[in-house]
Structures are given as structure tokens and as C-alpha cells.
Amino acid sequence: MTARVIDGKAVAAELRAGLKARIATLGYAPGLVVVRVGDDPASGVYVRNKDKAAKEAGFNSRTIHLPADTTQAALLARIAELNADPAVDGILVQLPLPAQIDTQAAINAVAPEKDVDGFHPMNAGKLASGQPGLVPCTPRGVMHLLKGTELRGARAVVLGRSQIVGRPMAQLLLAADCTVTIAHSRTRDLPAECARADILVAAVGRPEMVRGDWVKPGATVIDVGINRLADGRLVGDVAFAEAAERAAAITPVPGGVGPMTIACLLENTLDAAIARRGG
């Protein structure tokens, strides 16, 4: 068996085109502000890509770049200003933050209705209780990639338990009527647990940890991981070539889940704008 490769770039481009068409019918451009503190190189690339995609889709997007020695009080004050700004529909605080800033305090400071990352405890609580709210972008993107896959009654294993991906991913799959297991590095007989999955979502942050014989024949494999090896290559959490011999469908790295994260940030921003302003 050779797996069908799920093209995240194509799905993301289609989603962004749909958002652009919807924005064209509104009487305003939804406002997105990214707050970046310091000069983390990976964050810089990511923020530039976000800004480019947002502007191409018709959003009013800008980045506030604060110095690395910014105090927590100064950051919270800037977030408060954005919360009060009626032209701003979505606020994203780019992670990681410098050590002097409490990350959770920064997340909690963003108004829940403008929390387009979906990290605020109120949005996390809404997701857990099945209420509509803003959903973390990467799990939302995975659900787009799973369209066309039979989810009802499927056994899904989410490898990773982070608040950003693993836990919200499990909640979304549960809401789609999957039978869901959250596995992690301390799960007993992890390979066997993964091999039970009809849908395997790997988000553990370890390069090529999931081997081919961990994959159930015919499974759908979603690789959220992105890891740079010593030789400069980017790989996921799944050994792609091995897994592709057993899976029915699989996402590549790069070009799989990554493009969906930015597209779903824009989707969240449009949802937030319409909830606030109508349209």
C-alpha cells in the first residue's frame, strides 16, 4: 500500500480563497494584530508568513514588534489597548515569549472574543463543554484535512497532550463522534496503542518517533510535528516513508499541517470579526 499524500498547501490555498471571497462581501476589512516580543528567528519567519497571507486575503493585518527586554506589565498594557480598539478583531501573542514574561498571563490578558489563537481558558472551556468558541488553529486545520475521511465511530489516537494541539485535537475528534485516546511518552506500549488507530494524529515533537509498524494498515496519519535535524532537513514526528507504506493517507512535512495553521488563524479572525460586527 502506498498512501495518498494529503496536500495541506492546496487545502489551505482553497480555504484562504474562500475567506477572501467572503471578506469581499463585507463592508470592512477584519483587523488582525500580531504581538511579537524579542527576535526569535523562527517566530520572525512565521509572523512574516502570517502577515503576507492575511493581507493577500483582504485582512487589515499588522505586527507590533516589542524589544526582548519588554516587561510583563508593558506587554499586558499593550494587549489591553488592543482589546479596547474597535478596529481590532483578532489578537495573537506570538510564542515563545522571553523568560521575564509569564506566558499564561499574556494569554489570559487577551479578550476571549479576540483570542484568535484559541488559547484563552474561556475558549478552552467552551471547546471542552461543546459550546461554540474560537478553536486553536492547528487542530482546526487538522479537521479541515480530515474532511472526506469517515470519522463517526473511528478509533482516533492523538499522540501528544499539549494545550495547544493534543487536548483540543482530542476534543474536536470526540465532537466528530470518534472514539478518542490521548497517548503520550509515558503511555504503556505506545506502539501498540498507535497501531489500533484508524486516525493517528502525531503531535509529540520528537523527530520520526512514529515508525511504520506503529501504523495500522489503511489508517489516516496526520503529522503535526516539525523538527529540524542536524543536517538541516525538516521532518515530522512520523517516519514518513515507512508510514506511507501502510497508511491509506498521510500528511507530509513540510506542506501538510503547517499551511493549515495560518489559514485557520485567518478563519478564526473572520469568525471573530463577524461575531463582533456582523456580516
- Please give the positions annotated as active site: 50, 94, 117
Cβ atoms 29, 279 nearer than 8 A: no
Q: How crowded is the C-beta side of 133, counted as CA atoms within 13 Å?
A: 24
Bond before 96 cis per omega within 30 degrees? yes
- Alpha helices (H) along the chain: 8-23, 41-56, 72-84, 103-109, 121-128, 137-145, 166-175, 190-194, 240-244, 258-277
Rounded Cα distance between 106 and 128, Å, is: 21
* N-terminal to C-terminal alpha carbon distance within the chain: 46
Cell numbers at 46, concatenated: 512565521
Rounded Cα distance between 253 and 187, Å, is: 25
